[in-house]
Amino acid sequence: MTPERKERIIKVLNHRQPDLTVVMENVMDPHNIAAVMRTCDSVGIQEIFVLNTMIARHKKFGKKSSASAAGWLTIHQFDNTEECMKAVKAKYKNVYATHLGEKAVSLYELNLSEPVALVFGNEHAGITEECLKYCDGNFIIPQVGMVKSLNISVACAVTLYEVYRQREKNGNYSGAARLPSEQYNTLADQWGLLEDAE
Amino acid sequence: MTPERKERIIKVLNHRQPDLTVVMENVMDPHNIAAVMRTCDSVGIQEIFVLNTMIARHKKFGKKSSASAAGWLTIHQFDNTEECMKAVKAKYKNVYATHLGEKAVSLYELNLSEPVALVFGNEHAGITEECLKYCDGNFIIPQVGMVKSLNISVACAVTLYEVYRQREKNGNYSGAARLPSEQYNTLADQWGLLEDAE
């Protein structure tokens, strides 16, 4: 590993946000899944939850390459809503769903510097009722145009970059490691940072 | 036209931003172009500039349907960089390019409430040197991950929603019409709002 690459990997590790995650519930299109993962990596998310109650378990996540964002994320796969959402709630204080419910607020009204899990649903059906039961609130991305149709990859990017904006202001991306040391060391090992020391 | 639809169209018209536009320079992928247009419509952009110096003029923009964002936008097509950018500069005070130049600043450092044109370049080559000469500044979307690869439709959405956020705070989306009255009336006519009066 070159010193430049080592430095880059350490920088990425030091920007990872332990208190930020995404849950994809029954997101079907592999392009959407890949785009969401790229944005997660871009804003420093380390672990994501992939919940599938409608389709077979995604097999392709097995093929992790360093060129794809999936290779740098910790992906938890579930096929049971209760198990998945209980695991999410145990770790993240606020669970918000992109869902046009009765009490939906604008994305820009949310405090996203606090520990948060953001839930995105199926491209057509949205988030299931069962999954919504575990969410603390619903939010929408404001739209003032004729065609109401932000793609999930676009909606996710707009949401995660609002998280980034708020947290950057908050000093969360100062470069001081935020991951718990055990998780930090495990990733450092997986990502080859400890090889020189062996 | 139902009263509900009429009301919706008026609302859209009253949220259009006369001092905000997007320039797509040699964006090739029709999916990217369509996604950018959807986001433009979503944040209230009315006119956009499509500059193609590498490929033949896009023909499909002719087929405007009310279900597609293109049907609700005013699309200016150019195949000459100087003509296009002079037209843009004549109307928009600030012209910013998404380009990792020497003096690029973060998106979040820009004042986007002022009249602004945002330039996005080709998927692979980025923005041409010729086009950059007409830009007042470069900006980037911060990325702290391993895979640096925000798709243009994602980059555009993140950028335009930061514009939305700043302008919403600024009162630009209060619902009071901001378009010049001539443009407002022309669109009202095109969109069928004046039909009852005939």
How does pLDDT run across A144-190, given as a tens digit for each residue? 999 987 889 999 999 999 999 999 999 999 999 999 999 999 999 99
Handedness of CA B37, B156, B59, B25 (dihedral sign): positive
The b-or-e profile of B71-101 (16+ CB within 10 A means b, else e) is bbbebeebeebeebbebbeeebebbbbbbee
The 10s digit of each residue's pLDDT in B50-83 is: 999 987 666 666 555 667 899 999 999 999 999 9
State which residue of chain A sits closest to B6, comparing Cα positions: A146
pTM beyond 0.90, yes or no: yes
So what's the pLDDT on residue B56? 66
* Summary mean pLDDT of chain B: 92
Burial of A65 from C-beta contacts in 10 A (0-12 / 13-18 / 19+): exposed
Q: Which residues between 91 and 120 in chain B have a beta carbon less than 8 angstroms from any beta carbon of chain A?
A: 108
How far from the centroid of its chain's Cα atoms is residue A64's Cα? 17
B143 Cα to chain A: minimum distance (Å): 5
Q: Does A79 touch chain B (CB under 8 A)?
A: no
Q: Does A164 touch chain B (CB under 8 A)?
A: yes
Q: In chain A, what residues touch B9 (CB-CB under 8 Å)?
A: 146
Q: In chain B, what residues touch A151 (CB-CB under 8 Å)?
A: 35, 38, 153
So what's the pLDDT on residue A150? 86
Phi, then psi, of B25 in degrees rounded to 5:
-100, 115
Strand order in the sheet with B116-120: B74-78, B47-51, B20-25, B116-120, B94-98, B137-140, B105-106
So what's the pLDDT on residue A145? 96
The predicted complex's ipTM stands at 0.92
Nearest-10 crossing angle of helices A3-15, A181-190: 150
- Which residues in chain A show pLDDT less than 70? 56-66, 196-198
The 10s digit of each residue's pLDDT in B2-27 is: 999 999 999 999 999 999 999 999 99
* DSSP states along B23-68: EEES---HHHHHHHHHHHHHTTB-EEEEE-SSSPPPSGGGS--TTS
Nearest CA to B45 out of B67, B84, B76 is that of B76
